[in-house]
Amino acid sequence: MFELKVITRFAAAHQLKMVARQCENLHGHNWKVEVCVGGETLNEAGVLVDFGEIKTHVRALMAQLDHKFLNELEIFDDQCPPSSENIAHFIGTRLQEMISVPDVRVTRVTAWESDDACATYIMN
Ligand SMILES: Nc1nc2c(c(=O)[nH]1)N=C([C@H](O)[C@H](O)COP(=O)(O)OP(=O)(O)OP(=O)(O)O)CN2
Ligand SMILES: [Zn+2]
């Protein structure tokens, strides 16, 4: 299998309950997001899918998150708070819906909220 990775970033604010107490205060992160897509078959140009297509889709998703107060977005709520886990899940599931190339699927999304902490959603 071939796997491609595209890295993007966004800045946003959030509040989390029931983690470390200081997370309940409004605060922000500069998230780094790694998106991986995989597949078996290369096209006639010798690529799985154009990096540009993946970047276009990921940028559209980043635009929904960048410089937002994540708790106020419709995609998050008390059952799905804006943790790095749920951010990675949101990006992965939406990106899969956007990719137009058959047999290319999102394999994993990693959301780094700092240099030393990240959450990865692995797609089935
Ligand atoms: N599994 C998760 N744990 C935590 C998440 C998360 O999304 N998934 N998020 C947070 C908060 O975003 C919080 O802002 C991070 O705070 P903290 O862990 O305290 O980060 P620090 O850099 O301040 O940590 P140090 O202890 O100074 O390294 C928390 N947990
Ligand atoms: Zn935080």
Give domain 2-122's CATH architecture.
2-Layer Sandwich (3.30)
- pLDDT given at position 95: 98
pLDDT profile of the chain (124 residues), mean per 10: 98 88 89 98 97 98 98 97 98 97 96 98 94
89 is known to lie in a ligand binding site: no
- Give domain limits for the chain: 2-122
- pLDDT given at position 4: 98
Cβ(17)–Cβ(24) below 8 Å: yes
Q: From residue 36, give the alpha-carbon distance in Å to each of 51, 62, 91, 122.
A: 11, 15, 11, 10
Determine the distance separating the centroid of ligand 2 and the alpha carbon of 83, expressed in angstroms: 7
89 included as an active-site residue: no
ipTM (interface predicted TM): 0.91
- For residues 103 and 49, what is the distance between their CA atoms, to the nearest angstrom? 10
Handedness of CA 61, 90, 112, 5 (dihedral sign): negative
- pLDDT given at position 2: 98
Task: Kindly name the residue from 3, 24, 67, 72 that is annotated as catalytic.
Answer: 67
Largest CA distance in the chain: 53
